[in-house]
Structure 1
Amino acid sequence: PGAPGAPGADSGDPAEPPAPLTPADVFDALYDRAAPALLRQAYLLTGRRALAMESVERAFHLAWNRWPALIADPDPVGWVRSAAYEYALSPWHQFRRAHRHPDKPPADPADRILLDAMLQLSPMHRRTVLLYDGIGLDLPDTAAETEATTPTAGNRLLRAHAELAARIPELAAVPPEKQSAVLRHRLGALRPSVPLEPRPAVAVRGSGEHRTRLWGRAVLGLTAMIAVATSYTLSTAPTHYIPPLAPGASVSGVPPLSGPQHLTQRSKELHDKLRNDPEAGPARLAPKAE
């Protein structure tokens, strides 16, 4: 025990309350808890490590930009997961050279068969299987996250199970009512051939803020260009209506131009000489006495 009056002595004073968490601390805690699982799920959806990391990081960028409203959501992980799935399954990635081909397949033949079978499903069936069988959501929650009715989600799940059973011998050997349990175990035990480790939360949050600043500058620059172009247009545009000139057209039946012929250069010189030189003009024919 310390001396009386010394710091830490049993004086009965209440302990200091912990410092309140900042929004960045809460975001980092959410990222550390959810990012590893989301990265694995995005990999199962795409078969591409780079695209999976890009999808998860972009989803957390959106979450950080909407943080005051997102923190009040009853399921922030579900919101980020939905954003990551939407980006990962976007059809525009097939036109990108970096994501055109899947990564190296898993070393285990069973894992390779499972991943190939998942990637051959349609994007919506793949997402439904991952939510229901991989994560363990019930059918109404799966339907809500895929923006479908519960019967529609159930029909998608049945068709996806039938397609997977046709490609996976292990799944075809069990009755339909046990296929979900088998898929849940196999998806959880799949070992990718590439490391799936997310970047630190600080780096992801910093890159998101940097991207936001770049977009802000781009928007300001585009707005300035539009303002300059508008000002130039207003200053150079006509202030009254100018009727357009009618295009020329040939008219038949008009007589050709008649009248005195145009003087040539030689004739014009002679004409000017006769007018300017009296000795060679009319004065020579009608002389007047001085």
Structure 2
Amino acid sequence: MVTTKQPSAGPPPPPGKRRRPGRTGPLTSAQKTPGRAGSATATGEPDQQAAAPAAAGRTEPLTPAQAFDALYAFCAPALVRQTYLLTGRRELAREAVERAFQLAWQRWPEVARDRDPAGWVRAVAYDCALSPWHRFRPRYRSPEPPPTDPADRELLHVLLTLPPSYRRTLVLYDGVGLDLPETAAETEASTPAAANRLTQARAVVAARVPELADPAELHRRLLELASAERLSAARPPAVRTGCERRNVFWTRAAIAFTVTIIGATTLTLRTAPTRYEAPVAPAQAVQGVPPPAGLGPLSRADQALRVKLRDAEVSGPERLAPEPE
């Protein structure tokens, strides 16, 4: 009897070993601290040094809009493909990336000074894509058409069966190409916890698709799956304009709400009574009082007494007609 050994997923490398070192140039004159870079990754993200010549030729500082457009043009296409691996939905992937860049433009002074602006936007995009509130939206209740390639469809199905934290760790490590400590930091977990999630995620993928037990093969297949779909991002000016319109809308809404509260408070102060006024009790009929009645006819005894009193009014006893002394 011949037994076949089931391939197992390879363990992650030690935390101290860097896999793809790299650096990025500052996006604006205010950002002086270079950040880490992901080189050619499984999600189609190019090496950040490849984008350096365009920025190296500039001597004048970039305006915030130019710096934002440069970051968007560099990161948005790859982020859309990464979030597609997380969600399996094309429209949701584009929406999550657009929302992440809107938040980045809204907080651009903070993002421009961050040591890794691309990582900042990536973390926000992943959070938006994996938000559990999407399940309550009617547009996302029905599944989207799967990839046409059976191998890609099977890999995407396996990814979507993983828990969100495991899926995110697998995409960051075997897809984006981050180191284990960086993956743990971005997923807000300890390094041992991130390594455990990665090992279990690889084991699940290897059990469903045995040829993906090799990390290099898994990396290549993730790249093919992310690049197979035609995913496009919006233009940078449209994202900035949408963010500004959103800010104007919420600012006006906050002002209108504040004015409404102030007006209601003022009206209440002017119309509310300043002292306690007891309410007037409603009228009620008094019960138990006998009705008024006139005198009835006199009896014979009463009539005889009346005649006697009238006759004795003057000639009666002295108490009725006292004699003067």
| TM-score for both structures, normalised by structure 2 | 0.66
Q: Which runs of 5+ in 2 are unaligned?
A: 1-57, 282-286, 295-325
Whether the 8 Å CA contact 1:106–1:192 is kept in 2: the answer is no
Q: Which runs of 5+ in 1 are unaligned?
A: 1-16, 247-255, 264-290
Q: Secondary structure at the match of 1:190?
A: helix
Q: Does residue 1:118 correspond to 2:159, yes or no?
A: yes
Of structures 1 and 2, the one scoring higher in RCO (CA 8 A, sep 6+) is: 2
Deviation, structure 1 residue 245? 10
Deviation, structure 1 residue 103? 2.2
- Identity among equivalent positions (%) equals 56
Deviation, structure 1 residue 74? 0.5
Return closer, same or farther for 1:243/1:130 CA change in 2, 3 Å cut-off.
Answer: farther
The one of 175, 195, 198 equivalent to 1:154 is: 195
Q: Distance in 2 between matches of 1:162 and 1:244?
A: 77
Deviation, structure 1 residue 241? 4.8
Q: Does residue 1:138 correspond to 2:201, yes or no?
A: no
Name the structure with the higher helix share. Answer: 1
Q: Secondary structure at the match of 2:232?
A: coil
The one of 138, 159, 166 equivalent to 1:97 is: 138
Q: Secondary structure at the match of 2:290?
A: coil
Q: Does residue 1:24 correspond to 2:65, yes or no?
A: yes
Aligned to 1:287: none
Q: Distance in 1 between matches of 2:218 and 2:273?
A: 71
Q: Does residue 1:208 correspond to 2:243, yes or no?
A: yes
Aligned to 1:63: 104
Q: Distance in 1 between matches of 2:64 and 2:293?
A: 93
Whether the 8 Å CA contact 2:82–2:226 is kept in 1: the answer is no
Q: Secondary structure at the match of 2:207?
A: helix
Q: Distance in 1 between matches of 2:175 and 2:276?
A: 69
Q: Distance in 1 between matches of 2:280 and 2:233?
A: 68
The one of 243, 261, 265 equivalent to 1:230 is: 265
Whether the 8 Å CA contact 1:132–1:139 is kept in 2: the answer is yes
Q: What is the alpha-carbon root mean square deviation over aligned residues? A: 2.5
1:177-188 → structure 2 map (5 Å cutoff)? 178=214, 180-188=215-223
Q: Distance in 2 between matches of 1:136 and 1:129?
A: 10
Aligned to 2:252: 217
Deviation, structure 1 residue 227? 1.3
Whether the 8 Å CA contact 1:107–1:193 is kept in 2: the answer is no
Q: Distance in 2 between matches of 1:245 and 1:115?
A: 75
The one of 84, 88, 92 equivalent to 1:47 is: 88
Aligned to 1:260: 291
Count of residue pairs the alignment pairs up? 233
| TM-score for both structures, normalised by structure 1 | 0.74
Return closer, same or farther for 1:160/1:244 CA change in 2, 3 Å cut-off.
Answer: farther
Return closer, same or farther for 1:125/1:261 CA change in 2, 3 Å cut-off.
Answer: farther
Whether the 8 Å CA contact 2:84–2:226 is kept in 1: the answer is no
Whether the 8 Å CA contact 2:85–2:226 is kept in 1: the answer is no
- Structure with higher Rg: it is 2
Deviation, structure 1 residue 242? 6.0
Q: Does residue 1:167 correspond to 2:208, yes or no?
A: yes
Q: Distance in 2 between matches of 1:200 and 1:21?
A: 19
Q: Distance in 2 between matches of 1:195 and 1:95?
A: 26
Deviation, structure 1 residue 147? 0.7
Q: Distance in 2 between matches of 1:169 and 1:214?
A: 52
Q: Distance in 2 between matches of 1:81 and 1:225?
A: 39
Which string of whole-angstrom CA distances, capped at 9 and with x for unpartnered residues, describes residues 110-153 of structure 1? 11000011111111111111111111111111111111111111
